[in-house]
Amino acid sequence: METVGRPAHFETKEQLQECIDTYFIWIQGVFEWVDIIVNGEKVGREKEWVREPEPPTITGLALFLGFVSRQSVYDYEKTGEFSYTIKEARLRVENGYEKALMTRNSTGAIFALKNFGWTDKQEIDHKSTDGTMSPTPISFSKGSQK
């Protein structure tokens, strides 16, 4: 039987996992240690970024994996062999957003987490399993009875 569509980018889950791990290393950025010189004397060292670190994102992951859309990541998640690998990668991205909640400007992280299924509304369940919180019927009548 002939298959239709583009061939898979990855043939094994190990190959996919290796590329995902490389993405999470790559986003950490690259720096060099540079000497701090004051009046001709070395007084210390500091990091000088060659490539700035960046937060993990689904689109960044998709691009790094060679996909042309986020949907390709989700499609791979539906494939049995790759499902766990993609779920774990998505969880690592979600973890990055969750950590961003602890910063001063977390608005973007809140928005992104909502796309992962998080909610920021309080839900109160007014029902009980044992019936102790069942509503009591209230009767109204017209006029007063004497």
Percent of the chain past pLDDT 70, that is, above it, reads: 78
Q: What structural domains does the chain harbor? A: 13-102 (1.10.132.80)
Q: Report d(CA 64, CA 58) in Å as an integer.
A: 10
Q: Give me the mean pLDDT over the 16-29 stretch.
A: 95
Report d(CA 71, CA 56) in Å as an integer: 17
pLDDT tens digit sequence for 66-89: 999 999 999 988 888 999 999 999
> Which positions ≥6 away from 126 have C-beta within 8 Å?
133
Q: Give the pLDDT score at 130.
A: 72
pLDDT at 2 over 60: no
Backbone angles phi, psi at 6, to 5 degrees: -70, 145
Tell me the C-alpha distance between 108 and 101, whole Å: 9
